[in-house]
Amino acid sequence: MQKVLVAEIGNETIVVKAFANLDTENPLLLGQGISLRTEYDGDFRTGLQFAVTDLEKDIGPIGCLGDIPFYGVSSVPKIHTMKVNGAIVLRGGFLPATEAIMNAAKLIYEEVGEVLVLDVGAIATNLYSLTSGPVPQRTVEEDLGVLINPLPLVRLIGENRIVEHHGEEWEKLITSRPETPEQMVFSAEITSAAITIALKRHSGVSGNCGPRDLSNIRWIVGTGVALTQLPNGLEIFRESIMGMEGTLFSEEKIAILLDKDCIMSSLGSLAATYRKAAWQLMRESFGVEN
C-alpha cells in the first residue's frame, strides 16, 4: 500500500495526515497524528516526528519515512522551507495554506462551477470565491480569528452581548480546543459571527471591498479547525449563511457543505499530482457522493 504524508504546520500544532492508494480508484485517508508545534532555529523535524509517532498509534507502522512522499502546508507566515538533514524530506518545501486551499477551491470550480470557500481559522478567517470573473478572489480577515485571540471579534459582536450570553468571566471560555458545554456554546457563537461578518465583507455588503456578484455560486464550503472541530459545525455554518440567501446568493438551491475531515488544505497540496484522488476525497469529506 503506497502511502503519502502531508504535514500541516499550524500556529500551535502540527498535524500529519496519511493517505494511501492515491493513484487508484479507491484513495484513502488513513488517519492523522497531532503534536504541539516545536521548532529550533526554523527546524520543525522534532514536532513532525512527534506527530508521525502519534500517527503510528492511529494506523500502525508507516514504514521508512525516507521512502514515503512527504508534502507540507503551513498557515504560519514566512515558513516555506525546512532543514532536511534527516529522514523527513518535504517535497517542494511548505506550501502556504492559503495557496493550498485556493488550489482546492479551483478544483471544485473546475468540477461543479462557481464556489465560495470560508476557512474559519484560529487567527483569521479567509474567504475564497471563484466565479465567472477572470480572477479568483480572496479576502483575509485578521480580526476574525476564533481560537487564538478572539478579542477583536468579541468587540465586533459587542462585549455586552457576550457578557449577557456567557457571564462576566467569559474570557475563561477562550480555548483552542473547546470541550465543556460552556466552551462549545461560546465557540459556536463567535464562530457564527466570524462567518457572517467575513461573508458580508467579502461580498461588499460592508467593509472596503467593492461589490462582488455571488448570485451564481453553486457550492459554499466551510473549512478550518475552528469550524470543523465543533460537533454541530455544519448546522452552525448553514444557519450563519441561510439568512443571506436571496440577498447575496440566488434563490435557487445551493449546496452548503462542511469539510468535516478538515482536509482541503492537505488535498490542495496534492491536487497537482493526484487530482482525481484529491477530488474524490474532498467529496467524501463534504458528504457528496456524486
Residue 254, pLDDT score: 87
The 10 Å Cβ neighbour count of residue 206 is: 11
Q: What angle do CA 107, 109, 27 make, to 5 degrees?
A: 30
SS3 label, residue 205: coil
pTM beyond 0.85: yes
Residue 48, pLDDT score: 82
C-alpha cell at 275: 487530482
Q: Which residues contact 101 (CB under 8 A, 6 or more apart)?
A: 117, 119, 126, 128, 223, 264, 265, 268
E strand or H helix that includes residue 219: strand 219-223
Residue 185, pLDDT score: 95
CA distance 184 to 179: 6
Q: What angle do CA 225, 229, 235 make, to 5 degrees?
A: 110
CA distance 182 to 2: 43
Helix/strand/coil percentages in the chain, nearest 5: 40, 20, 40
Per-residue pLDDT of the chain (290 residues; tens, 9 = 90+): 788 999 998 877 889 999 999 999 999 999 999 988 765 555 577 788 888 899 998 888 877 777 788 898 988 765 544 544 455 666 767 889 999 999 999 999 999 999 999 999 888 999 999 998 888 889 888 899 998 889 999 999 999 999 999 999 999 999 888 999 999 999 999 999 999 999 998 888 776 777 788 888 999 999 999 999 999 999 999 999 887 766 777 767 789 999 999 999 999 999 999 999 999 999 999 999 76
CA distance 256 to 218: 9
Query: For the chain, how far is it from start to end, CA to CA, in angstroms?
Result: 26
Q: What angle do CA 101, 10, 276 make, to 5 degrees?
A: 30
Residue 246, pLDDT score: 63
Amino acid present at 204: G
Residues 117 and 128: beta-carbon distance below 8 Å: yes
C-alpha cell at 173: 471560555
Residue 82, pLDDT score: 52
